[in-house]
Structure 1
Protein backbone atom coordinates (compact mmCIF):
# COMPACT_ATOMS: atom_id res chain seq x y z
CA UNK A 1 0.00 0.00 0.00
CA UNK A 2 1.31 3.45 -0.91
CA UNK A 3 2.04 5.29 2.33
CA UNK A 4 1.97 8.62 0.50
CA UNK A 5 -1.63 8.24 -0.63
CA UNK A 6 -3.91 11.11 0.24
CA UNK A 7 -6.04 10.61 3.33
CA UNK A 8 -9.69 9.86 2.73
CA UNK A 9 -12.00 12.84 2.36
CA UNK A 10 -13.78 13.28 5.69
CA UNK A 11 -16.75 14.76 3.85
CA UNK A 12 -17.06 13.09 0.44
CA UNK A 13 -20.42 14.68 -0.24
CA UNK A 14 -20.10 18.50 -0.11
CA UNK A 15 -23.86 18.87 -0.18
CA UNK A 16 -24.11 17.09 3.15
CA UNK A 17 -21.72 18.85 5.56
CA UNK A 18 -20.44 16.85 8.52
CA UNK A 19 -22.47 17.03 11.68
CA UNK A 20 -21.55 19.59 14.29
CA UNK A 21 -19.10 18.67 16.99
CA UNK A 22 -20.70 17.35 20.18
CA UNK A 23 -21.79 19.85 22.81
CA UNK A 24 -18.97 21.28 24.83
CA UNK A 25 -18.89 20.59 28.54
CA UNK A 26 -20.01 23.08 31.17
CA UNK A 27 -16.66 24.79 31.74
CA UNK A 28 -16.15 25.48 28.03
CA UNK A 29 -19.64 26.96 27.80
CA UNK A 30 -18.98 29.13 30.85
CA UNK A 31 -15.73 30.33 29.26
CA UNK A 32 -17.55 31.19 26.03
CA UNK A 33 -20.30 32.95 27.97
CA UNK A 34 -17.90 35.07 30.02
CA UNK A 35 -15.93 35.98 26.90
CA UNK A 36 -18.98 37.86 25.62
CA UNK A 37 -19.58 41.43 26.70
CA UNK A 38 -23.32 40.79 27.06
CA UNK A 39 -22.63 37.70 29.16
CA UNK A 40 -20.66 39.61 31.79
CA UNK A 41 -23.08 42.53 31.62
CA UNK A 42 -26.07 40.32 32.38
CA UNK A 43 -24.32 38.65 35.30
CA UNK A 44 -23.66 42.11 36.70
CA UNK A 45 -27.31 42.97 36.09
CA UNK A 46 -28.43 39.91 38.06
CA UNK A 47 -26.10 40.90 40.91
CA UNK A 48 -27.34 44.48 40.94
CA UNK A 49 -31.07 43.74 40.95
CA UNK A 50 -30.69 40.89 43.40
CA UNK A 51 -29.03 43.41 45.72
CA UNK A 52 -31.83 45.90 45.05
CA UNK A 53 -34.43 43.24 45.85
CA UNK A 54 -32.73 42.41 49.15
CA UNK A 55 -32.51 46.11 50.03
CA UNK A 56 -36.19 46.62 49.21
CA UNK A 57 -37.32 43.61 51.22
CA UNK A 58 -37.42 43.04 54.96
CA UNK A 59 -34.45 40.65 54.98
CA UNK A 60 -32.08 43.15 56.58
CA UNK A 61 -34.33 44.35 59.38
CA UNK A 62 -32.12 42.85 62.04
CA UNK A 63 -29.91 44.47 64.63
CA UNK A 64 -26.83 44.42 62.37
CA UNK A 65 -28.79 45.15 59.19
CA UNK A 66 -27.61 48.77 59.02
CA UNK A 67 -23.99 47.97 58.21
CA UNK A 68 -24.93 45.17 55.81
CA UNK A 69 -27.42 47.48 54.10
CA UNK A 70 -24.75 50.16 53.70
CA UNK A 71 -22.32 47.71 52.12
CA UNK A 72 -24.97 46.20 49.88
CA UNK A 73 -26.05 49.67 48.72
CA UNK A 74 -22.44 50.57 47.91
CA UNK A 75 -22.08 47.28 45.99
CA UNK A 76 -25.28 47.92 44.02
CA UNK A 77 -24.16 51.43 43.12
CA UNK A 78 -20.71 50.25 42.06
CA UNK A 79 -22.14 47.51 39.86
CA UNK A 80 -24.45 50.03 38.22
CA UNK A 81 -21.50 52.21 37.23
CA UNK A 82 -19.53 49.16 36.07
CA UNK A 83 -22.37 48.13 33.74
CA UNK A 84 -22.28 51.56 32.11
CA UNK A 85 -18.56 51.10 31.44
CA UNK A 86 -19.28 47.76 29.74
CA UNK A 87 -21.56 49.59 27.28
CA UNK A 88 -18.73 51.71 25.91
CA UNK A 89 -19.15 51.82 22.12
CA UNK A 90 -22.16 49.50 22.15
CA UNK A 91 -24.24 52.04 20.21
CA UNK A 92 -22.29 51.03 17.08
CA UNK A 93 -24.02 47.64 17.27
CA UNK A 94 -27.40 49.34 16.83
CA UNK A 95 -26.15 51.49 13.96
CA UNK A 96 -24.98 48.39 12.11
CA UNK A 97 -28.23 46.57 12.90
CA UNK A 98 -30.19 49.46 11.40
CA UNK A 99 -28.01 49.43 8.30
CA UNK A 100 -28.45 45.68 7.81
CA UNK A 101 -32.18 45.54 8.50
CA UNK A 102 -34.48 44.90 5.52
CA UNK A 103 -37.66 46.95 5.35
CA UNK A 104 -40.67 45.57 3.52
CA UNK A 105 -42.92 48.52 4.39
CA UNK A 106 -42.77 52.11 5.62
CA UNK A 107 -44.19 50.99 8.95
CA UNK A 108 -41.40 48.45 9.37
CA UNK A 109 -38.83 51.12 8.51
CA UNK A 110 -40.30 53.48 11.11
CA UNK A 111 -40.31 50.79 13.80
CA UNK A 112 -36.72 49.84 12.97
CA UNK A 113 -35.64 53.48 13.32
CA UNK A 114 -37.43 53.69 16.67
CA UNK A 115 -35.97 50.39 17.91
CA UNK A 116 -32.36 50.68 16.79
CA UNK A 117 -32.20 54.48 16.83
CA UNK A 118 -33.68 54.78 20.31
CA UNK A 119 -31.53 52.00 21.75
CA UNK A 120 -28.42 53.34 19.99
CA UNK A 121 -29.00 56.84 21.35
CA UNK A 122 -29.52 55.38 24.81
CA UNK A 123 -26.20 53.50 24.72
CA UNK A 124 -24.45 56.58 23.31
CA UNK A 125 -25.72 58.82 26.12
CA UNK A 126 -24.95 56.17 28.74
CA UNK A 127 -21.25 56.66 27.94
CA UNK A 128 -21.50 60.27 29.16
CA UNK A 129 -23.57 59.23 32.18
CA UNK A 130 -20.73 56.87 33.07
CA UNK A 131 -18.16 59.66 32.65
CA UNK A 132 -20.24 61.93 34.89
CA UNK A 133 -20.70 59.29 37.59
CA UNK A 134 -17.01 58.36 37.46
CA UNK A 135 -16.07 62.02 37.97
CA UNK A 136 -14.35 62.77 34.66
CA UNK A 137 -16.98 65.32 33.64
CA UNK A 138 -19.13 67.57 35.82
CA UNK A 139 -21.44 65.26 37.84
CA UNK A 140 -24.17 67.92 37.72
CA UNK A 141 -24.88 66.85 34.12
CA UNK A 142 -25.62 63.26 35.13
CA UNK A 143 -29.27 63.85 36.04
CA UNK A 144 -30.23 65.55 32.77
CA UNK A 145 -28.27 62.98 30.75
CA UNK A 146 -30.04 60.14 32.55
CA UNK A 147 -33.45 61.66 31.84
CA UNK A 148 -32.75 61.97 28.09
CA UNK A 149 -31.22 58.49 27.93
CA UNK A 150 -34.27 57.05 29.72
CA UNK A 151 -36.55 58.59 27.08
CA UNK A 152 -34.37 57.18 24.31
CA UNK A 153 -34.41 53.77 26.00
CA UNK A 154 -38.20 53.82 26.24
CA UNK A 155 -38.58 54.77 22.57
CA UNK A 156 -36.24 51.92 21.68
CA UNK A 157 -38.34 49.42 23.64
CA UNK A 158 -41.53 50.64 21.95
CA UNK A 159 -39.95 49.93 18.57
CA UNK A 160 -38.46 46.61 19.70
CA UNK A 161 -41.71 45.28 21.15
CA UNK A 162 -43.66 46.35 18.06
CA UNK A 163 -41.22 44.56 15.75
CA UNK A 164 -41.24 41.41 17.87
CA UNK A 165 -45.04 41.33 18.07
CA UNK A 166 -45.13 41.52 14.25
CA UNK A 167 -42.61 38.65 14.11
CA UNK A 168 -44.78 36.61 16.47
CA UNK A 169 -47.80 37.17 14.25
CA UNK A 170 -45.84 35.95 11.23
CA UNK A 171 -44.65 32.90 13.20
CA UNK A 172 -48.22 32.13 14.20
CA UNK A 173 -49.27 32.12 10.54
CA UNK A 174 -46.36 29.88 9.61
CA UNK A 175 -47.22 27.53 12.47
CA UNK A 176 -50.81 27.21 11.21
CA UNK A 177 -49.54 26.34 7.73
CA UNK A 178 -47.14 23.71 9.07
CA UNK A 179 -49.81 22.14 11.26
CA UNK A 180 -52.14 21.94 8.25
CA UNK A 181 -49.40 20.26 6.23
CA UNK A 182 -48.83 17.73 9.02
CA UNK A 183 -52.55 16.97 9.26
CA UNK A 184 -52.77 16.38 5.51
CA UNK A 185 -49.68 14.15 5.62
CA UNK A 186 -51.18 12.15 8.50
CA UNK A 187 -54.41 11.61 6.56
CA UNK A 188 -52.43 10.36 3.57
CA UNK A 189 -50.16 8.22 5.69
CA UNK A 190 -47.12 10.05 4.31
CA UNK A 191 -43.94 10.91 6.18
CA UNK A 192 -43.56 14.53 7.28
CA UNK A 193 -40.35 14.40 9.32
CA UNK A 194 -39.00 17.59 7.77
CA UNK A 195 -42.17 19.53 8.56
CA UNK A 196 -42.19 18.18 12.11
CA UNK A 197 -38.61 19.36 12.61
CA UNK A 198 -39.47 22.78 11.20
CA UNK A 199 -42.50 23.04 13.47
CA UNK A 200 -40.44 22.10 16.53
CA UNK A 201 -37.78 24.71 15.72
CA UNK A 202 -40.44 27.31 14.98
CA UNK A 203 -42.08 26.74 18.36
CA UNK A 204 -38.72 27.04 20.14
CA UNK A 205 -38.01 30.27 18.26
CA UNK A 206 -41.49 31.55 19.08
CA UNK A 207 -40.99 30.84 22.78
CA UNK A 208 -37.68 32.74 22.81
CA UNK A 209 -39.31 35.65 20.99
CA UNK A 210 -42.10 35.76 23.58
CA UNK A 211 -39.55 35.75 26.39
CA UNK A 212 -37.74 38.58 24.63
CA UNK A 213 -40.97 40.60 24.57
CA UNK A 214 -41.43 40.01 28.31
CA UNK A 215 -37.86 41.17 28.87
CA UNK A 216 -38.38 44.36 26.85
CA UNK A 217 -41.62 45.12 28.69
CA UNK A 218 -39.88 44.72 32.06
CA UNK A 219 -37.07 47.03 30.95
CA UNK A 220 -39.60 49.51 29.52
CA UNK A 221 -41.37 49.68 32.90
CA UNK A 222 -38.05 50.55 34.54
CA UNK A 223 -37.36 53.18 31.86
CA UNK A 224 -40.74 54.81 32.56
CA UNK A 225 -39.93 54.80 36.27
CA UNK A 226 -36.65 56.60 35.50
CA UNK A 227 -38.48 59.14 33.34
CA UNK A 228 -40.92 59.86 36.19
CA UNK A 229 -38.08 59.98 38.77
CA UNK A 230 -39.53 57.05 40.71
CA UNK A 231 -42.84 58.84 41.32
CA UNK A 232 -45.10 56.64 39.21
CA UNK A 233 -48.00 54.64 40.64
CA UNK A 234 -46.01 51.43 40.16
CA UNK A 235 -42.74 52.69 41.67
CA UNK A 236 -42.65 50.02 44.34
CA UNK A 237 -39.00 49.14 45.07
CA UNK A 238 -39.71 45.41 45.27
CA UNK A 239 -41.66 45.47 42.00
CA UNK A 240 -38.98 47.45 40.16
CA UNK A 241 -36.17 45.23 41.45
CA UNK A 242 -38.16 42.13 40.48
CA UNK A 243 -38.69 43.53 36.97
CA UNK A 244 -34.95 44.14 36.60
CA UNK A 245 -34.10 40.66 37.90
CA UNK A 246 -36.63 39.04 35.54
CA UNK A 247 -35.15 40.91 32.57
CA UNK A 248 -31.63 39.88 33.58
CA UNK A 249 -32.53 36.20 33.96
CA UNK A 250 -34.27 36.05 30.56
CA UNK A 251 -31.34 37.74 28.84
CA UNK A 252 -28.87 35.45 30.61
CA UNK A 253 -30.84 32.42 29.42
CA UNK A 254 -30.79 33.65 25.81
CA UNK A 255 -27.05 34.36 25.90
CA UNK A 256 -26.35 30.96 27.49
CA UNK A 257 -28.21 29.14 24.72
CA UNK A 258 -26.07 30.90 22.11
CA UNK A 259 -22.80 29.66 23.65
Structure 2
Protein backbone atom coordinates (compact mmCIF):
# COMPACT_ATOMS: atom_id res chain seq x y z
CA UNK A 1 0.00 0.00 0.00
CA UNK A 2 1.17 3.53 -0.74
CA UNK A 3 2.04 5.93 2.03
CA UNK A 4 -0.78 7.96 3.44
CA UNK A 5 -1.06 11.46 2.00
CA UNK A 6 -0.58 14.20 4.63
CA UNK A 7 -3.74 15.84 5.88
CA UNK A 8 -4.43 19.41 4.85
CA UNK A 9 -4.63 20.18 8.55
CA UNK A 10 -1.35 18.43 9.41
CA UNK A 11 0.62 20.92 11.57
CA UNK A 12 3.94 19.43 10.44
CA UNK A 13 3.04 20.04 6.80
CA UNK A 14 1.95 23.58 7.59
CA UNK A 15 5.18 24.23 9.48
CA UNK A 16 7.26 22.86 6.59
CA UNK A 17 5.37 25.03 4.14
CA UNK A 18 5.89 28.12 6.31
CA UNK A 19 9.60 27.34 6.60
CA UNK A 20 9.87 26.98 2.83
CA UNK A 21 8.11 30.31 2.34
CA UNK A 22 10.63 31.97 4.66
CA UNK A 23 13.58 30.37 2.88
CA UNK A 24 16.16 32.95 1.76
CA UNK A 25 16.26 31.83 -1.88
CA UNK A 26 12.46 31.91 -2.15
CA UNK A 27 12.47 35.36 -0.60
CA UNK A 28 15.19 36.48 -3.00
CA UNK A 29 13.25 35.10 -5.97
CA UNK A 30 10.17 37.07 -4.91
CA UNK A 31 12.29 40.20 -4.45
CA UNK A 32 13.96 39.93 -7.86
CA UNK A 33 10.60 39.28 -9.54
CA UNK A 34 9.61 42.86 -8.68
CA UNK A 35 10.61 45.73 -10.90
CA UNK A 36 11.57 47.85 -7.88
CA UNK A 37 13.70 45.03 -6.49
CA UNK A 38 15.99 44.88 -9.53
CA UNK A 39 15.93 48.68 -9.89
CA UNK A 40 17.19 49.21 -6.33
CA UNK A 41 19.98 46.67 -6.75
CA UNK A 42 21.06 48.57 -9.86
CA UNK A 43 20.85 51.79 -7.85
CA UNK A 44 23.22 50.35 -5.24
CA UNK A 45 25.68 49.35 -8.00
CA UNK A 46 25.48 52.78 -9.61
CA UNK A 47 26.04 54.88 -6.51
CA UNK A 48 28.69 52.56 -5.11
CA UNK A 49 30.53 53.14 -8.41
CA UNK A 50 29.98 56.90 -8.08
CA UNK A 51 31.45 56.86 -4.56
CA UNK A 52 34.53 54.99 -5.81
CA UNK A 53 34.98 57.52 -8.62
CA UNK A 54 34.27 60.63 -6.52
CA UNK A 55 36.55 59.58 -3.65
CA UNK A 56 39.55 59.38 -6.01
CA UNK A 57 40.32 55.86 -4.80
CA UNK A 58 41.06 54.98 -8.42
CA UNK A 59 43.25 57.32 -10.50
CA UNK A 60 41.40 58.54 -13.61
CA UNK A 61 44.24 57.29 -15.82
CA UNK A 62 43.62 53.66 -14.86
CA UNK A 63 41.63 51.55 -17.35
CA UNK A 64 39.52 50.28 -14.42
CA UNK A 65 38.45 53.85 -13.67
CA UNK A 66 37.31 54.38 -17.26
CA UNK A 67 35.44 51.08 -17.25
CA UNK A 68 33.78 52.01 -13.96
CA UNK A 69 32.60 55.31 -15.46
CA UNK A 70 31.18 53.47 -18.45
CA UNK A 71 29.49 50.95 -16.15
CA UNK A 72 27.95 53.69 -13.99
CA UNK A 73 26.60 55.49 -17.05
CA UNK A 74 25.15 52.30 -18.54
CA UNK A 75 23.45 51.34 -15.27
CA UNK A 76 21.92 54.83 -15.14
CA UNK A 77 20.36 54.37 -18.58
CA UNK A 78 19.22 50.84 -17.69
CA UNK A 79 17.43 52.11 -14.57
CA UNK A 80 15.48 54.58 -16.70
CA UNK A 81 14.18 51.69 -18.80
CA UNK A 82 12.76 50.12 -15.61
CA UNK A 83 10.60 53.22 -15.14
CA UNK A 84 8.53 52.68 -18.27
CA UNK A 85 4.89 53.04 -17.31
CA UNK A 86 5.71 53.55 -13.63
CA UNK A 87 3.80 56.85 -13.59
CA UNK A 88 0.58 54.79 -13.63
CA UNK A 89 1.44 53.66 -10.10
CA UNK A 90 1.32 57.27 -8.91
CA UNK A 91 -1.93 57.95 -10.77
CA UNK A 92 -3.54 55.02 -8.97
CA UNK A 93 -2.02 56.07 -5.64
CA UNK A 94 -3.49 59.55 -6.06
CA UNK A 95 -6.85 58.17 -7.16
CA UNK A 96 -7.02 55.79 -4.18
CA UNK A 97 -5.52 58.17 -1.60
CA UNK A 98 -7.49 58.39 1.64
CA UNK A 99 -7.45 62.01 2.78
CA UNK A 100 -8.98 63.59 5.87
CA UNK A 101 -8.57 67.25 4.95
CA UNK A 102 -8.01 69.65 2.06
CA UNK A 103 -4.42 70.00 3.22
CA UNK A 104 -3.82 66.27 2.79
CA UNK A 105 -5.51 66.37 -0.61
CA UNK A 106 -3.25 69.22 -1.73
CA UNK A 107 -0.11 67.47 -0.46
CA UNK A 108 -1.19 64.21 -2.12
CA UNK A 109 -1.54 66.02 -5.46
CA UNK A 110 1.92 67.55 -4.97
CA UNK A 111 3.53 64.25 -3.90
CA UNK A 112 1.93 61.77 -6.30
CA UNK A 113 1.46 64.29 -9.11
CA UNK A 114 5.08 65.45 -8.93
CA UNK A 115 6.48 61.93 -8.80
CA UNK A 116 4.12 60.69 -11.52
CA UNK A 117 5.12 63.54 -13.83
CA UNK A 118 8.77 62.78 -13.07
CA UNK A 119 8.39 59.13 -14.09
CA UNK A 120 6.43 60.15 -17.19
CA UNK A 121 9.16 62.55 -18.37
CA UNK A 122 11.87 60.03 -17.51
CA UNK A 123 10.51 57.80 -20.27
CA UNK A 124 11.45 60.47 -22.83
CA UNK A 125 14.83 61.03 -21.14
CA UNK A 126 15.50 57.31 -21.64
CA UNK A 127 14.41 57.49 -25.29
CA UNK A 128 16.78 60.43 -25.82
CA UNK A 129 19.69 58.59 -24.19
CA UNK A 130 18.83 55.42 -26.13
CA UNK A 131 19.03 57.38 -29.39
CA UNK A 132 15.40 57.33 -30.52
CA UNK A 133 14.85 61.02 -29.69
CA UNK A 134 17.33 63.72 -30.70
CA UNK A 135 19.89 63.98 -27.86
CA UNK A 136 19.66 67.78 -28.02
CA UNK A 137 16.47 67.52 -25.98
CA UNK A 138 18.05 65.34 -23.28
CA UNK A 139 19.40 68.21 -21.14
CA UNK A 140 16.13 70.17 -21.02
CA UNK A 141 14.11 67.02 -20.37
CA UNK A 142 16.38 66.05 -17.49
CA UNK A 143 16.05 69.49 -15.90
CA UNK A 144 12.24 69.40 -16.11
CA UNK A 145 12.31 65.85 -14.75
CA UNK A 146 14.48 66.90 -11.79
CA UNK A 147 12.18 69.85 -10.97
CA UNK A 148 9.06 67.68 -10.88
CA UNK A 149 10.92 65.07 -8.82
CA UNK A 150 11.98 67.66 -6.25
CA UNK A 151 8.42 69.00 -5.96
CA UNK A 152 7.16 65.44 -5.47
CA UNK A 153 9.61 64.82 -2.62
CA UNK A 154 8.53 68.04 -0.92
CA UNK A 155 4.92 66.82 -0.85
CA UNK A 156 5.96 63.29 0.13
CA UNK A 157 7.95 64.44 3.17
CA UNK A 158 5.08 66.66 4.32
CA UNK A 159 2.61 63.76 4.04
CA UNK A 160 4.88 61.39 5.94
CA UNK A 161 5.36 63.88 8.76
CA UNK A 162 1.57 64.03 9.07
CA UNK A 163 1.49 60.22 9.08
CA UNK A 164 4.02 60.18 11.94
CA UNK A 165 1.70 62.37 13.99
CA UNK A 166 -1.19 59.96 13.35
CA UNK A 167 0.99 57.00 14.38
CA UNK A 168 1.97 58.82 17.60
CA UNK A 169 -1.71 59.41 18.39
CA UNK A 170 -2.49 55.75 17.75
CA UNK A 171 0.40 54.67 19.96
CA UNK A 172 -0.92 56.89 22.77
CA UNK A 173 -4.33 55.20 22.53
CA UNK A 174 -2.78 51.72 22.64
CA UNK A 175 -0.60 52.69 25.62
CA UNK A 176 -3.69 53.91 27.42
CA UNK A 177 -5.41 50.54 26.83
CA UNK A 178 -2.31 48.69 28.10
CA UNK A 179 -2.24 50.80 31.28
CA UNK A 180 -5.93 50.12 31.92
CA UNK A 181 -5.46 46.39 31.33
CA UNK A 182 -2.46 46.35 33.70
CA UNK A 183 -4.44 48.09 36.45
CA UNK A 184 -7.21 45.52 36.05
CA UNK A 185 -4.66 42.66 36.02
CA UNK A 186 -5.88 41.67 32.57
CA UNK A 187 -3.86 40.28 29.71
CA UNK A 188 -2.70 42.75 27.06
CA UNK A 189 -0.95 40.52 24.52
CA UNK A 190 -3.06 41.92 21.69
CA UNK A 191 -2.19 45.51 22.62
CA UNK A 192 1.51 44.64 22.99
CA UNK A 193 1.54 43.11 19.51
CA UNK A 194 -0.26 46.16 18.13
CA UNK A 195 2.30 48.43 19.80
CA UNK A 196 5.20 46.54 18.22
CA UNK A 197 3.58 46.89 14.81
CA UNK A 198 3.13 50.63 15.34
CA UNK A 199 6.75 51.01 16.42
CA UNK A 200 7.93 49.21 13.27
CA UNK A 201 5.59 51.35 11.18
CA UNK A 202 6.99 54.51 12.78
CA UNK A 203 10.56 53.37 12.14
CA UNK A 204 9.85 52.61 8.46
CA UNK A 205 8.13 55.97 8.06
CA UNK A 206 11.19 57.76 9.48
CA UNK A 207 13.47 55.82 7.15
CA UNK A 208 11.22 56.85 4.23
CA UNK A 209 11.63 60.50 5.22
CA UNK A 210 15.42 60.12 5.34
CA UNK A 211 15.27 58.49 1.91
CA UNK A 212 13.16 61.33 0.51
CA UNK A 213 15.63 63.90 1.86
CA UNK A 214 18.53 62.02 0.24
CA UNK A 215 16.74 61.72 -3.11
CA UNK A 216 15.52 65.31 -2.86
CA UNK A 217 19.11 66.50 -2.36
CA UNK A 218 20.14 64.78 -5.59
CA UNK A 219 17.11 66.16 -7.45
CA UNK A 220 17.95 69.68 -6.24
CA UNK A 221 21.52 69.28 -7.48
CA UNK A 222 20.19 68.17 -10.89
CA UNK A 223 18.01 71.29 -11.16
CA UNK A 224 21.15 73.38 -10.60
CA UNK A 225 23.34 71.37 -13.00
CA UNK A 226 25.54 70.26 -10.10
CA UNK A 227 26.57 73.83 -9.21
CA UNK A 228 26.39 75.62 -5.86
CA UNK A 229 26.22 74.37 -2.29
CA UNK A 230 25.46 70.74 -1.41
CA UNK A 231 26.50 69.50 -4.84
CA UNK A 232 29.76 67.79 -3.91
CA UNK A 233 29.95 64.58 -6.00
CA UNK A 234 30.94 62.42 -3.02
CA UNK A 235 28.08 63.84 -0.91
CA UNK A 236 25.53 63.21 -3.67
CA UNK A 237 26.84 59.70 -4.34
CA UNK A 238 26.64 58.90 -0.62
CA UNK A 239 23.07 60.24 -0.51
CA UNK A 240 22.19 58.05 -3.48
CA UNK A 241 23.66 54.94 -1.86
CA UNK A 242 21.85 55.67 1.43
CA UNK A 243 18.56 56.03 -0.45
CA UNK A 244 19.20 52.79 -2.34
CA UNK A 245 19.93 50.82 0.85
CA UNK A 246 16.81 52.13 2.61
CA UNK A 247 14.53 51.36 -0.33
CA UNK A 248 16.12 47.92 -0.75
CA UNK A 249 15.43 47.20 2.93
CA UNK A 250 11.79 48.33 2.58
CA UNK A 251 11.23 46.29 -0.57
CA UNK A 252 12.81 43.22 1.03
CA UNK A 253 10.49 43.43 4.03
CA UNK A 254 7.45 43.86 1.78
CA UNK A 255 8.13 40.64 -0.17
Q: Tell me the TM-score normalised to structure 1 length.
A: 0.90
Distance in 1 of aligned mates of 2:208 and 2:52: 25
Q: Which residue of 1 aligns with 2:198?
A: 202
Distance in 2 of aligned mates of 1:168 and 1:255: 20
Distance in 1 of aligned mates of 2:43 and 2:7: 50
Match of 1:164 among 146, 150, 160: 160
Displacement of 1:66 after TM fit? 2.3
Q: Which residue of 1 aligns with 2:177?
A: 181
Q: CA 1:124–1:191 in 2, change beyond 3 Å: closer, same or farther?
A: same
Q: Which runs of 4+ in 1 moved over 6 A?
A: none
Residues 140-183 of structure 1: CA deviation (Å, up to 9, x unaligned): 00000000010100111011111111000110111122122212
Match of 2:109 among 104, 113, 118: 113
Residues 164-210 of structure 1: CA deviation (Å, up to 9, x unaligned): 11000110111122122212222222111111110010001110111
Distance in 2 of aligned mates of 1:167 and 1:98: 16
Q: Which residue of 2 aligns with 1:21?
A: 18
Distance in 2 of aligned mates of 1:176 and 1:232: 44
1:100 aligns with 2:96: yes
Q: Calculate the aligned-residue CA RMSD, in Å.
A: 1.8
Q: Which residue of 2 aligns with 1:15?
A: none
Q: Which residue of 1 aligns with 2:3?
A: none
Q: Which residue of 1 aligns with 2:55?
A: 57
Displacement of 1:9 after TM fit? 7.7
1:249 aligns with 2:226: no
Distance in 1 of aligned mates of 2:210 and 2:7: 51
Match of 2:81 among 75, 78, 85: 85
Aligned residues: 245
Distance in 2 of aligned mates of 1:181 and 1:9: 38
> Unmatched 5+ residue regions in structure 2?
1-5
Distance in 1 of aligned mates of 2:142 and 2:8: 59
Distance in 1 of aligned mates of 2:76 and 2:7: 56
> Unmatched 5+ residue regions in structure 1?
1-6, 12-17
Q: Secondary structure at the match of 2:192?
A: helix
